[in-house]
Amino acid sequence: MTRGPGGALLALLIAGCAVPQRPAVVSAPAPVGQRVEAITAAARRSEREPDAQVRAELAADAQREAQACLAVEPRAAGCLYGHALALGLDARAHPARAGESLARMLTDLADAEAVDPGYDEAGPARVRALVLVRAPGWPLGPGDPAAGVAAARRAVSLRPQYPPNLLALAEALARTGETLAAHEAYGRAREAALARPASSDREEWLSEANRALQQ
């Protein structure tokens, strides 16, 4: 099944972020990390939410958190990264403007990577890779699988044992037709996940790697 740009983007937000789950988005003044956690919590809730209106409200909540963060620390990697994730939710909630949201998301991710490439286990490069791989190409969107491979390689070079980085690289390689290299990367992702303590994230990473390796 082919994913639309918004749906694919939400999936990468969930799989590609290391921030732990939170029960709800908060609005009170908070440090950068807490605001990014709130945005990620909105993404997790949105993934499970069938009501389009509620998804739109979650996207708006995430945007408020991101804007509040940027208002205080406009060049902080966490604020730029959080705003990128919020734009991802906006792309899913409002498909008509998904192309614009994705383009702005890539700009924020590039800025975040320039400030702190290692933020969220190399999150800016990892999420950038998945956007480039999953988004439609020109003229419908900013998709560029070859550039996605380059971004994924940057993430892996920074955090080579973080499973989502290896999964992103594997997906990018598969998308560009490098089947053997993709299979190897999925194997490395599985090994890296097995080395992690038991958790719901670990199970998700293992499941993704195992599905790909069985194909």
> Would you kindly state where each structural domain of the chain is located, as residue ranges?
5-214
The whole-number pLDDT of residue 126 equals: 98
How far apart CA 88 and CA 46 sit, in angstroms, is 11
How far apart CA 106 and CA 111 sit, in angstroms, is 9
- What pLDDT band is residue 17 in, cutting at 50, 70 and 90? low
Residue 36: which of 102, 121, 104 has the closest Cα? 121
- What pLDDT band is residue 32 in, cutting at 50, 70 and 90? confident
The whole-number pLDDT of residue 183 equals: 98
How far apart CA 169 and CA 185 sit, in angstroms, is 7
Q: What's the mean pLDDT when you consider all of the chain? A: 88
**pTM (2 d.p.):** 0.85
Q: How many CB atoms lie within 10 A of CB 128?
A: 28
Phi, psi of 74 (to 5 degrees): -65, -20
Query: What would the pLDDT profile of 189-214 be if each residue is shown by its tens digit?
Result: 999 999 999 999 999 999 999 999 99
Query: What would the pLDDT profile of 69-94 be if each residue is shown by its tens digit?
Result: 999 999 999 999 999 999 999 999 99
Residue 106: which of 84, 74, 76 has the closest Cα? 84
Amino acid at 194: L
Query: What would the pLDDT profile of 144-162 be if each residue is shown by its tens digit?
Result: 999 999 999 999 999 999 9
SS3 117: coil
Looking at the chain, the whole-number percentage of residues with pLDDT higher than 70 is 86
Look up the CATH architecture of domain 5-214.
Answer: Alpha Horseshoe (1.25)
DSSP structure class, residue 44:
H
